[in-house]
Structure 1
């Protein structure tokens, strides 16, 4: 008797979302497709800062994974993966185990906090996004109900995520406080300059914007300890804050490496040009959780989006025993960094610009991406 092949997906990241949409348009027969995710609504990273600023609502920034799975003919399992039994081809979840012939992983990444005393107890990591948003909504509600009460926020991490968060949080909260001088935002970064992965113009421009907007910037400061109402840096600097958000270098969950998959030094799955694990070729990985051995790239949404098509192609190729296709990511990419005021900075190689035009371009690109998952 012929048995259907089992393709199981862990996570609803950008690559999986695109590949699932393409599968729904071009399905293969005799394949049992399963999506395992601990959330039913997956956030689109490109629009999250705008959501924080109040420029987009929740539905505009999230993909309904249940509807997407149904469109793709996939079974949706609302559960959290905590391991992979690579010997017996099983995904281990909180509530059970699920067999697979082929597996694909796209679960994103999380900020690294556990090495700093007190961080686990007192900080709000930017990921997982649902937990972050729940904390942000509570903070907005608190601010709206007590606009006279001083509010001090610290954001740790001066990459694109931390800078966007600082600017967009400020835009939203200033609207709530209506010009009252009750808001303080602190941005702490261990590096010599903001956005070290971008060119000097972009770094300098964002530094200037941060300072002009009254956000207190601390460079070359390493957080040593976090307490309930403050953080302490290696230099001895103490910053009082009622909320501390953590947007530092990304890392992978420990269970990835513990599953026996070959990983890099931060725990991300090492993959070939075909997006297959270098140690387990029947397992694919894409998005932030994957590191391409031959083409390492920053952990940025633009690369996750671009991997969706080749990932889909190679799922179908391996299931039909066809040669797999190599994917070579672009060397340079356009980064659009929203500043929370209907303007955006464009960063391309050694060039940079800041204008309203780039906000509208970013808005167009983001809405175009999300529209493909509406009314499935």
Structure 2
């Protein structure tokens, strides 16, 4: 009996939370007559929820990483390590930076977002974007080595975090721990353009975070934006000057620049306009998930919790799409558990109208994060020929 070969190609663009759910499910329930290719710029996916804890020394760097070679090999998924720079929906091609186009029958785009960088901070060596998270820890170490060399090990390092939302506040807490553990004298500043940190959170949650910032000597600057930066001094709109050896941007989510090469309908915010079924509004065979998706009729914050919740819906809709069945709709929850690591074995959280700061909150967060990672980390040894197509000739790697 002749073997039935896959007739259709599913291409997953980006190794974010939602697409990783598809890779994991493929290991358990592959869709008949469909092959899967995962496109990722990195061979390890970094779980954003554990980056602050890793900074604080609560995790080893490897604990927040998912080895895509092992996961893909265990799931029977091919992985191409390349940057997707565009999508031609008419030809059904994913455009790659250094390889020929990759053809798809169905695609799922989950390439996330990037912090919106203030103009004065662009192309500055002192500025570290929180993304890509896969390289943040290494970039931070390199910059610290630069500013503490030449006999300046005992000098105070001035660090400015731009963005007072959840990411900026959590990084501030955990970076304080990171520097203290290395006996690096530092002064941290947190810049937020709004009236308060953690805008949109409960007033009690904001209060708990303010108290923690004060306890650590982290100085918040509210209702301020970056006006100028000369490489050493950062100027705020109110004219105040801050020494800035390191500037970390954890600002409002902006579309990755490569999205301009995707010929799909865009929402007003520049992200891809998406239907409740997670389909692009301009291409039924293209799904959009995570931060990359904006639902024009029902916008939701750019938060990882939505990407995680979209995983089962995307999986079901991919199956239905290949079987020409009606699709499900994604219904985002109106409220969700929020937990921010403070880096000292505690966490600040809010849930169902209540705010708290405690060790049990950290244990709760740690349990949830480790549970997520356990689903995706594969300990089995790699086969002699792994799913990684980097070893294949470009033409072979581009075949659908």
**Aligned-residue CA RMSD (Å):** 1.9
Pairs within 5 Å for 1:240-259: 240-259=243-262
Shift of 1:130: 2.7
Partner Cα separation in structure 2 for residue 249 and residue 232 of structure 1: 20
Aligned residue for 2:112? Answer: 108
2:177 maps to which of 156, 171, 179? 171
Partner Cα separation in structure 1 for residue 114 and residue 331 of structure 2: 25
1:199 maps to which of 199, 202, 207? 202
Partner Cα separation in structure 2 for residue 205 and residue 92 of structure 1: 46
Deviations 1:167-193 (A, max 9, x none): 10001111211xx7x211111111110
Q: TM-score, normalised by structure 1?
A: 0.94
Aligned residue for 1:310? Answer: 313
Is the 1:112–1:249 Cα contact (8 Å) retained in structure 2? yes
1:124 pairs with 2:110: no
Shift of 1:260: 2.4
Distance 1:258 1:92, change over 3 A: closer
Aligned residue for 1:223? Answer: 226
SS in 1 for 2:59: coil
Shift of 1:257: 4.0
Partner Cα separation in structure 1 for residue 22 and residue 35 of structure 2: 15
Deviations 1:230-250 (A, max 9, x none): 211121111111111111101
Aligned residues: 372
Deviations 1:59-94 (A, max 9, x none): 110111122222221111010011111121111111
Partner Cα separation in structure 2 for residue 230 and residue 243 of structure 1: 10
Structure 1 residue runs of 5 or longer lacking an equivalent are none
Deviations 1:319-361 (A, max 9, x none): 1212211121211100001111111111125321111110000
SS in 1 for 2:258: helix
1:184 maps to which of 187, 192, 206? 187
Aligned residue for 1:235? Answer: 238
Aligned residue for 2:41? Answer: 38
Pairs within 5 Å for 1:2-41: 4-41=7-44
Q: Greater RCO between the two (CA within 8 Å, min separation 6)?
A: 2
Structure 2 residue runs of 5 or longer lacking an equivalent are 381-400
Partner Cα separation in structure 1 for residue 229 and residue 264 of structure 2: 33
Point out the more displaced range, 138-147 or 366-375. 138-147
Partner Cα separation in structure 2 for residue 43 and residue 3 of structure 1: 30
Partner Cα separation in structure 2 for residue 170 and residue 126 of structure 1: 16
Is the 2:157–2:245 Cα contact (8 Å) retained in structure 1? yes
SS in 2 for 1:91: strand
1:324 pairs with 2:324: no
